[in-house]
Amino acid sequence: MTLLKIFCITTLLWLTACSSTPLSAPPVARDAVPPAAQAQDGIALQSSRNLGSAQPTPTPHASPVSTPVAASVLTPVDIAASAALARPDTEHTPLAVIDIAQAPSRVVTSLVPPVDLWDRIRRGYAMPDLQNNLVQDREQWYVARPDYIFRMTDRSKKYLFHIVEELELRNMPTELALLPFIESAFNPQAVSGAKAAGMWQFMPATGKYFELKQNAFRDDRRDVLASTRAALDYLDKLYGMFGDWHLALAAYNWGEGSVGRAIAKNQRAGLPTGYPDLNMPMETRFYVPKLQAIKNIVSQPDVFNAKLPLIENHPYFETVTIRRDMDVTIAARLAEISLEDFKALNPSVNRPVILAAGTPQILLPWKNAEIFQTNLDAYSGGRLATWTVWMAPSTMHPAEVAKRVGMSEAELRHVNAIPPRMVVRAGSSLLVPRSSSMQVDVSEKVADNGQLSLGPEIVLKRTVVRARKGDNVASMARRYKVNAEQLAQWNKTSVSARFKPRQQVVVMIAVRATGATARAASGPISAPHKVAAHPTAPRQAARTKTAQRAVAAKPMRRAAASKKTAVRQAPPRAKATKTRVAKR
């Protein structure tokens, strides 16, 4: 027991002597811990770089040479220093200089949130300004129409937040959010004379290239989400091609091929290839100045005496999933919004019913999305959809289709947008009333691929022709492109019959119906005077008289031509005689 006490006291004295021995420390460097951070017992706090040094160096308060610590004696500071050797030296690595192109963002993010969505758009400007007379001209045009600017900007509040969000996610200039002002005045139902449709004005072929569905029941060129995605994809692609936003916008309006050819032409001529230097159509020449004018007005509305509506910096709509076919009117009623507002957010639905298999999501105002779901769960008003799809088994007249599906011809034409003097071709998908006992919704294949194919209405005209030597029913049917059985029926003979040379054969030739002819073919006319009162009747009569005069004039022209030939062949004396006769 006494030996144990002596051993403990000796160990305690030895540990006290070891702890009082000072450690070596490196000289003070620019990143060393200041003296105030050092302990009073002489143990210096060192950085990770100094701890990672292989050779110990004296402390600032000790002599340059000190007694080294025995390898077998480790204090807590030594253990920490050993652990620091395994850590990489990253805390005090010198910073390298980078240029602006290597920066992760174009501007320094402000800590102050935007006041509204207009302020957010202004903060994201990244396109170079265009300054010329065309910009000033467009500014004056817009300033002279303040009501137009307010209506256009007020219409944009439903869609602008989503576009700005998508642009920021793609790191694209927020000026592009103003492009629908130029394209369609933010009207998703707009259709140009060249058949471009939607808020971003996609042509049918371009829309298909960017996977925008176009069928009998929906047109994604008008869809808010799909068309915005496709437009930004297209603009990003064009910027990658030309490396200049002004040229990319010109290509969006004029086509990348046209802009590329204009650039190549200037290059061959040794001319500049910027947007103002290219030879382009007047519409494209004004395209970027229009956008610049809108940008200037949004940037400084007070300078241009423009009134911009307040657009809060938060989403306007929310996506809602539907699982059953539903009438548009019922969907709007369940969301407790007007039919006009529902169509403004869902402009791609161009029929009175939403097919869940083809349009599984709809857009509703943020505050009405939950209301819609609550009302849908509690709905007990019967069927959600009163329309379904019917496939035409053969080419049929709309009147025949309407009779078969149990609706009026006028309603059938209105619901399916069938113009006059057109027939429905086989395989077309038509929207027809849904029976009360029908519980199955339209399939995904029909909802995604249904098409309405129309053709001009055909009227058969009775014509009598002469058979040639060796003609039979089959040969004449091939010549006039009719069915052999029908030709035999028209002439009350058999399909294998042969015709005598110059025998009269009745052929019903198909002609396209126009004007009164089409109306006569579509149904009987109650009063003869209605045909004469039709607007096309005078024109048809005039064309008939003109044709008759032309037919009558043919023999006269032939006679005149023969006389001229005779005059050319006659001797000079006869020619002089004819000249005298003509003068008389």
Instruction: Tell which residue, 138, 143, 176, has the closest CA to residue 160.
Output: 176
Q: Which amino acid is present at 365? A: P
Cβ burial, residue 189 (10 Å; 0-12/13-18/19+): middle
The CB-based long-range contact list for 535-539 (8 Å cut-off, 24+ gap) reads 539/515
Ramachandran assignment for 252, one of left (phi > 0), alpha (psi -120 to 50 degrees), beta (any other): alpha
Say whether 80 sits in a helix, a strand or coil: helix
Which member of 139, 175, 183, 457 is catalytic? 183
The verdict on whether 444 is a catalytic residue reads no
**3-state secondary structure string, 5-58?**
HHHHHHHHHHHHHHHCCCCCCCCCCCCCCCHHHCCCCCCCCCCHHHHCCCCCCC
Query: 476: closest CA among 461, 492, 495, 458?
Result: 495
Calpha distance 114→112 (Å, rounded): 7
Query: How far apart are alpha carbons 318 and 162 in whole angstroms?
Result: 10
| 559 secondary structure, DSSP code | H
- How far apart are the C-alpha atoms of 125 and 242, rounded to whole Å? 19
User: Cα-flanking dihedrals φ and ψ of residue 234, to 5°?
Assistant: -65, -45
174 and 168 in contact (C-beta within 8 Å)? yes
Please, are residues 424 and 390 in contact by the beta-carbon 8 Å criterion? no
The DSSP symbol for 191 reads B
Positions annotated as catalytic residues are 183
